[in-house]
Structure 1
Amino acid sequence: HQVSGGQLQRAMTAMALCSNPELIVFDEPTTALDVTTQIDVLAAIKHAIEETHTAALYITHDLAVVAQISDDIMVLRYGKQVEYGSVQQIIEAPREDYTRALVNVRQAYREEAADQSTALLKVENISAEYSNGFKVLHDVTLHVPKGQTLAVVGESGSGKSTLARVITGLLPPSSGRIVFDGKPLMPGLKSRPNDDLRRIQLIYQMADTAMNPRQTVRDIIGRPLTFYYGLRGAEKTARVKELLDQIEMGKGFVDRYPAELSGGQKQRVAIARALAAKPELILCDEPTSALDPLVAEGILKLLLRLQEEEQLSYVFITHDIAIVRAIADSVAVMHRGKLVRFGSKSTALSPPFDDYTDLLLKSVPEMEIGWLERVLATRRMESAGN
């Protein structure tokens, strides 16, 4: 637990090379990593393969990553081969509709809302620390407008998820305050009245670990209906079916268990569970990071539709800049527990940049052959200049 995710992945690559193998299988080695760390891991993997002349099978759902490290690409869907070819052919001239969809999925852009002045949530000078005294947030101030989306971005350990814990009351701040709809929230979860708990909901990154595998969809979505509204029996079941329709799944899933659902379906159930409370703010903690791009795109479209229908506000925690462009109205960039950039999407993603935001944006993989080499060369030149 004392090493970063990137250091751990590099160590695992070195361990795999110890026996001088002829083939190494890399199973999504960078999926959970932020973009700045991902570059270092990709560079280490590519260098190791070149130095040892070991063959590699690299499994991933990110074609932009594949374009930097592979010679050939095989596209699979439902256990069948959709397309096979060189990196250049797949990236620049895909033949199949599914492959073309994978290539184009990262290009979505949503125009930001014009008025971002009316705040539903205000985070004012928040600092927080863990029980061992380690400080994880330093004087963070930001706001979330009503009916809009704030994207919180940064590398692992930057304080993104900790900020969500503070907002929900799971981690009381050491200083500062949270104001919701004009009224200060109690710092700790146990001190907040049920209505405050209801109005702020959380969607976790891993739906598998956020659901009881022994409960049916009816039970999972129905729990907040009973807790907040006292619904039981047929009345509760009817509302569960309405929520399943709202998330585009339908009543046929009501008696299924999590193990009988796909990753995207599980995340939709998690969204329905949050919606069951009729919240005004939903904190989305990397809810699409474990999903393939097309399924993730479907979840984003669902969240945007629900936002429009219900006037929901979102705090969307992510390390994927493509998602920021697709869903955000405003952006907060965090680094080592500090807020280094905050503003509308057009302002936050436009120069001049602070050093960290500049590094973050330059580290986003592009669907372009040779991009990794170009970025690494630029880094070496900048390092030599300093």
Structure 2
Amino acid sequence: MNRSLVEVEDLRVEVAGRALLDGVGLRVHPGRVTALLGASGSGKTTTARALLGEYPDGARVTGRVTVPAGAVGFVPQQPAAVLNPARRVGALLRDLARLRGGGLPEVRRALARAQLDDPDEVLRRFPHQLSGGQQQRVVLAQALLLGARVLVADEPTTGQDALTKRRLVAELAALVRQGLGLLLLSHDLEVVRELADEVVLLRDGGVVAAGPAEQVLAALDDGPPRVPAAAPPRPVPARVPPALPVLTVRALDAVHPGGVRALHGVGLEVGPGECLALLGRSGSGKTTLGRCVAGLHDRYRGSVALDGRPLARSLRDRSRDELAAVQYVFQDARASFDEHRPVLDQVARPAVRLRGAGRAEAAHTARRLLAELGLPSSAAARRPAELSGGELQRAALARALAASPQVLVCDETTSGLDARTRHEVLEVLVALRERAGLALLLITHDLDAARALADRAAVLDGGRVVGAGSAARVLRRGAVGAAG
């Protein structure tokens, strides 16, 4: 075997007396894939960031991390965190290409290798005008432009439709064959089986299994599952559609700055206690539609109404009751939290600000919601940087629920969650629909989540609804092929 490009030996990372990692070791070799597995909070991202020399504030670090200077490219689970929101993608990537004597042809080639089908359109946009999946592929293109010899990919298939996921896996495999070393962090065992040569399994910051991929994965299949494969929650029983929808969207035409059309005449309705799944490939307009509903994107014609009353386009013009009534759970949970304040305080804030609850009552509500979603008080007392992406995703959902909304827009809420946590989150959403009459707009590539939650589904392509009907019928039809 070739000499390793990256070596991690007996790595321990401790913050305020709590061990995030304890004795972790791994190697990444040129032309090979090492996969890091483990539940949310097991230490995968902390290990990956150690390769970049990045540790939480106040961390006490022992052990050894050996990485050649400038050799590592990083594709984070929350890609918006490493993209400059004030610069168009084209300007950013051309600057990177110039560092290695390249130009626009090299930029277009890197975007194509990262599975972005329309490079020129992507180059004209700002990062916030891209879907989460497109942002992730732009960051991959950055790493390719900079000539990374080792790529750290944190959940690279999260938020990707099935077609893009297959193509991205094939491209990663091709890069590895050309000599790239890949450290893959993933909950997607199908992707791990396809790509990994070695697997390191983490639990509570320690290594519980390591070795050839076939051997470790076979042990997971044969023994008590350390990465649990929970069955999806029971589907919600079919119900008679409500006479009056709580959310109504009519003839929505949305544009991005510069006049780029994102939605074309979209209409939908969601009733109380009902779930509508929005399906479609990355960049099809799902997130833009959700943001219009929530008042986060105001460049549109048409109408968004709550209980038959038009909502202001911008959340800045909505009343406190209207803000509480429509809540949005972002795909990039980390970017939606203030890094300087404890998570519990931020989860409790909507109950104080939007519902007028006292601080003690709001804190009690926040603890209850976080516990229902599997996040203990000890974790909630920490700052966002001390939690994993999956833990923050659960906290973001709890924060939205603290406002007691009528409509909840979930943008890839199950992305980046291990199987057991994903199951718990879906069960909570099912219970809320049945108990509280919550109207749910579910933006997802997770077809199992759509089957478990959705009454109806709509498929978007190029900003248009190209298929709609009962979830069971749409998920059986070929129209959903691009979405899943």
Please give the TM-score of this superposition, normalised by the length of structure 1.
Answer: 0.78
Task: Give 1:200 deviation, angstroms.
Answer: 0.8
Candidates 240, 262, 271, aligned match of 1:145: 271
Deviations 1:149-185 (A, max 9, x none): 1111222211111001111122225322112222222
1:63 — aligned with what? 189
Q: Is the 8 A contact 1:218 1:240 kept in 2?
A: yes
User: Structure 2 matches for 1:361-376, cutoff 5 A?
Assistant: 361=484
Deviations 1:66-93 (A, max 9, x none): 2333456554433323475554983698
Q: CA RMSD in A?
A: 3.2
User: Structure 2 matches for 1:174-193, cutoff 5 A?
Assistant: 174-193=300-319
Deviations 1:272-307 (A, max 9, x none): 221222111111111232333333332222222333
What is the alpha-carbon distance in structure 1 between the residues aligned to residue 377 and residue 196 of structure 2?
43
Candidates 115, 121, 129, aligned match of 1:6: 115
Candidates 114, 134, 141, aligned match of 2:239: 114
Q: Is the 8 A contact 2:373 2:428 kept in 1?
A: yes
Please give the TM-score of this superposition, normalised by the length of structure 2.
Answer: 0.64
Candidates 300, 315, 336, aligned match of 1:210: 336
User: Structure 2 matches for 1:283-322, cutoff 5 A?
Assistant: 283-322=409-448
**SS of equivalent to 2:115:** helix
Q: Is the 8 A contact 1:159 1:335 kept in 2?
A: yes
Is 2:421 the counterpart of 1:334? no
Letter in 2 for 1:34: D
Letter in 2 for 1:181: D
**SS of equivalent to 1:334:** strand
Is 2:474 the counterpart of 1:358? no
Candidates 222, 227, 250, aligned match of 1:95: 222
2:158 — aligned with what? 31
Distance 1:223 1:49, change over 3 A: closer
**SS of equivalent to 1:319:** coil
**SS of equivalent to 1:143:** strand
Unaligned runs of 5+ in 2: 1-88, 91-110, 117-137
Candidates 208, 219, 228, aligned match of 1:81: 208
Q: Is the 8 A contact 1:94 1:100 kept in 2?
A: no
Q: Is the 8 A contact 2:236 2:430 kept in 1?
A: no
Deviations 1:96-145 (A, max 9, x none): 222573xx447666255232344221211111112321111001111112
What is the alpha-carbon distance in structure 1 between the residues aligned to residue 152 and residue 380 of structure 2?
38
**SS of equivalent to 2:457:** strand
Q: Is the 8 A contact 1:149 1:313 kept in 2?
A: yes
1:366 — aligned with what? none
What is the alpha-carbon distance in structure 1 between the residues aligned to residue 364 and residue 402 of structure 2?
12
Distance 1:345 1:238, change over 3 A: closer
Unaligned runs of 5+ in 1: 362-386
Q: Is the 8 A contact 1:152 1:334 kept in 2?
A: yes
What is the alpha-carbon distance in structure 2 between the residues aligned to residue 151 and residue 208 of structure 1?
24
What is the alpha-carbon distance in structure 2 between the residues aligned to residue 262 and residue 49 of structure 1?
27
Higher RCO by CA contacts (8 Å cutoff, separation 6 or greater): 1
Distance 1:186 1:31, change over 3 A: closer
Is 2:346 the counterpart of 1:223? no
Considering fraction of residues, name the structure with more helix: 1
**SS of equivalent to 2:476:** coil
Deviations 1:258-283 (A, max 9, x none): 23434443233222221222111111
Task: Give 1:59 deviation, angstroms.
Answer: 3.6
